[in-house]
Structure 1
Amino acid sequence: MELPAQVIETLTDWIDDNLHKPLRIDDIARHAGYSKWHLQRLFHHHKGESIGRYIREKKLRLAAQDLRATNDRVLDISMKYGFDSQQTFTRLFTRKFQMSPGTWRKQGDTRANHC
């Protein structure tokens, strides 16, 4: 595996381990030792998506799992994963899963286990 690919894989592991924290591109770039512009180009080249999208999608999948596995309020889950508000979380969640977080929880959709 070439060095940039190794850097991106190591970085995605670090991101995955820190999803419960606020993750800003500047901080991620500093952690990786690259400028944010160069890091974003490398990341997109190797992952096929932006760093921001990668983080948002990961957080939404984890939130979907939490909705099924816990009785935590939607607000608490949205705050746990760092969304600005429950409304923002609900809008993004609904866009990804084609249903609201409450409906997802009630239907027990098995996609939560496969996302």
Structure 2
Amino acid sequence: MERLRQLRRAKDVMDRDWADPHLDLDAVAAHAGYSRYHFLRAFKEVYGETPGQYLSRRRIERAEDMLRSADLSVTEICMLVGFSSVGTFSSTFKRQTGLTPSEYRTRHVGRGAALIPGCYAMLWAGGFPARGARDEARNSEEAG
């Protein structure tokens, strides 16, 4: 029972801090009181996926919401949901949804309410990323 409580505590951290790009296996394992390798095995045994897979799935779910509802660029959404690389975000998104982020937006926008202006969405999501991260993302997007 204690083991489940510890794993649930770590899962709650991922559910709460999913957008933090610094949230990694070591940080989450520490919340559970496990070494990273023991935590990885225990989490997968209980939840059927690794902590990294779980966190990526949560981030992509949030990105799907933002792509449907917010007038933000793919790069801005990438940064807001905790990815530091547009390429990694796009490939993970496509692997989980079968569509690129742009294809997903094209398919789903217009089927509900109007898009929330980007400035409001950014404020709601915790503000704009630091200038260095924003410039790095822009350079990655332009290169790809």
TM-score by length of 2: 0.70
Report the counterpart of residue 15 of structure 1 in structure 2.
14
Letter in 1 for 2:34: Y
Instruction: Find the structure with the greater CA-based Rg.
Output: 2
Matches of 2:5 and 2:33, distance apart in 1: 14
Report the counterpart of residue 71 of structure 2 in structure 1.
71
Shift of 1:31: 2.2
User: Is the 8 Å Cα contact of residues 6 and 33 (structure 2) preserved in structure 1?
Assistant: no
The number of residue pairs the alignment matches comes to 109
Shift of 1:58: 0.8
Percent identity for Structure 1 against Structure 2: 29
Matches of 1:88 and 1:61, distance apart in 2: 15
Report the counterpart of residue 83 of structure 1 in structure 2.
83
Shift of 1:95: 1.4
Letter in 2 for 1:7: Q
Shift of 1:60: 0.8
Report the counterpart of residue 96 of structure 2 in structure 1.
96
Please provide the CA RMSD for this pair. 1.6
Q: Look up the SS of the partner of 2:54 in the other structure.
A: helix
Q: Deviations over 1:48-87 (max 9, x none)?
A: 1111111111111111111111111100010112223212
Report the counterpart of residue 126 of structure 2 in structure 1.
none
Matches of 1:37 and 1:54, distance apart in 2: 16
Matches of 1:20 and 1:99, distance apart in 2: 21
Runs of 4 or more above 3 Å deviation: none
Letter in 2 for 1:31: H
Matches of 1:108 and 1:14, distance apart in 2: 30
